[in-house]
Amino acid sequence: MHQKMKRFKDKICLVTGGGSGIGKSTALSFATEGGKVVVCDINGEKAQETKNEILNNGGDAIAITLDISDHEAVQKAVQQTVETYGRLDCAANIAGVAGPVSKKIHEYPIDSWHQQINVNLTGTWYCMKYELEQMLVNGGGNIVNLSSAAGLLAQPENSPYAASKHGIVGLTRTAAKEYATDNIRANAICPTAIETPMIMEGRRKLAHDKKAKREAIEFQAMKRMGRPQEIADVILWLCSDQSSFITGVAMVADGGALA
C-alpha cells in the first residue's frame, strides 16, 4: 500500500455520525492523514469504537456522545474540541436520519417529518453555527455537509428526507457566500446509494429486500452501490488545500446516476 500524504497533519477534524458508515470512514481517513479527530455520534459506544480504532493505529482522537438536534450539546461538543485541541480546522457534518416509512406527502406521519427536519436540517444548522463561530476565531476552516442526491432532485414517498437534504444544500451555499472572505469554505456532498447501515437496514432495508437493492444498483450508471470510503475520499479532498478555490458546491458522488 502506497504511503498516503498527510494532508491533515496537526489539523483538528470534527466528524458527526462518526460511529458508522460514511462518518466512520471519514474519521478514520482524517486520522490516517495526520488529523486529530473528534468523533461524535448519538451512539456513544460506536463513537468510542471509532476512537479506539484510531488510537490503536497510532492516531489521536476523542469521542463525544452527541445528538445534533440538541443545540446546547452541539455547542458543548465544539467547546470540548477547543478545550482538548485548541482550535477547529475541519468539520464533516455527516450525522443524519432516514424516515422509517415510504408514504406520499398527504399520508406521511407528522412525527417522522419533524424528526428528520430536526436532525438533518436543524441539527446541521446547529453544527454549522458553532463550527463557524470557532473558525472565525481560528482565522479559517473547512466545512463539508452531507446532503444527498435527494437534496438535488425529487425522492417520491420520502418528502421530509428530500426537504431536509435540499435545505442542507441551501445552508451550505449560503455559508459559502457569507464566509468566503473569512478563509472559510463550505461545501456539500450529494451521494446516491452507498452501502451504509442506514440504507441497508433503514427505510428501504436493502439488506433484506433483493428487489429494492437491485433497483438501487440499477439507478447507478456504474451498476453498483458506492462504498463509504469513496465518499470519505471526496469529503477529505473538499476539506483539503487541494480544493482551495472551491466553495458552495453540491458535489454529486453518484456512480453516474444523475448524468
The radius of gyration of the chain from alpha carbons, rounded to an integer in Å, stands at: 17
Measured CA to CA, the distance from residue 168 to residue 70 in angstroms comes to 17
pLDDT, tens digit (0-9, with 9 covering 90-100), for 98-157: 988 999 999 999 999 999 999 999 999 999 999 999 999 999 999 999 999 999 999 999
Could you read off the pLDDT of 168-225 as tens digits, one per residue? Answer: 999 999 999 999 999 999 999 999 877 776 665 666 666 667 887 777 777 777 887 7
CA distance 24 to 223: 25
Average pLDDT, the chain: 93
Say how many Å lie between the first and final Cα of the chain, rounded: 32
Lookup: cell for 123? 441539527
- Other CB atoms within 10 A of residue 229 CB: 14
Selection from 192, 182, 178, 191 nearest residue 248 by Cα: 178
Over residues 25-54, the pLDDT tens digits come to 999 999 999 999 999 999 999 999 999 999
Question: Which pLDDT score, from 0 to 100, does residue 163 have?
Answer: 98
The number of angstroms, rounded, from the C-alpha of 56 to the middle of its chain's C-alpha atoms is 24
User: Is residue 235 assigned to a domain?
Assistant: yes
pLDDT confidence bin for 4, thresholds 50/70/90: low
Q: Residue 3 has what pLDDT?
A: 52
Q: Is residue 209 part of a domain?
A: no
Q: Is residue 244 part of a domain?
A: yes
Residue 12's pLDDT band (boundaries 50, 70, 90)? very high
More reliable by pLDDT, 2 or 197: 197
Question: Strand (E) positions, 164-253?
Answer: 184-191, 250-253
Which residues span the domain enclosing 143?
12-191+226-251
Residue 48 lies in a domain: yes
Per-residue model confidence (pLDDT) at position 5: 72
pLDDT score of 2: 47
More confident call, 219 vs 76: 76
The strand order across the sheet containing 250-253 reads 60-65, 36-41, 12-16, 90-93, 141-146, 184-191, 250-253
pLDDT higher for 214 or 58? Answer: 58
Active site residues: 161
Domains identified in the chain, total number: 1
Domain annotation covers residue 148: yes
Q: Which three cell numbers stand for residue 29?
A: 481517513
pLDDT at 130: 98
* Within-domain flag for 257: no
Any domain includes 197: no
What pLDDT, on the 0 to 100 scale, is given for residue 99? Answer: 87
Q: What CATH number is attached to the domain comprising 179?
A: 3.40.50.720
Residue at 219 is within a domain = no
CA atoms within 13 A on the CB side of 146: 28
Q: In the chain, where do the E strands start and end? A: 12-16, 36-41, 60-65, 90-93, 141-146, 184-191, 250-253
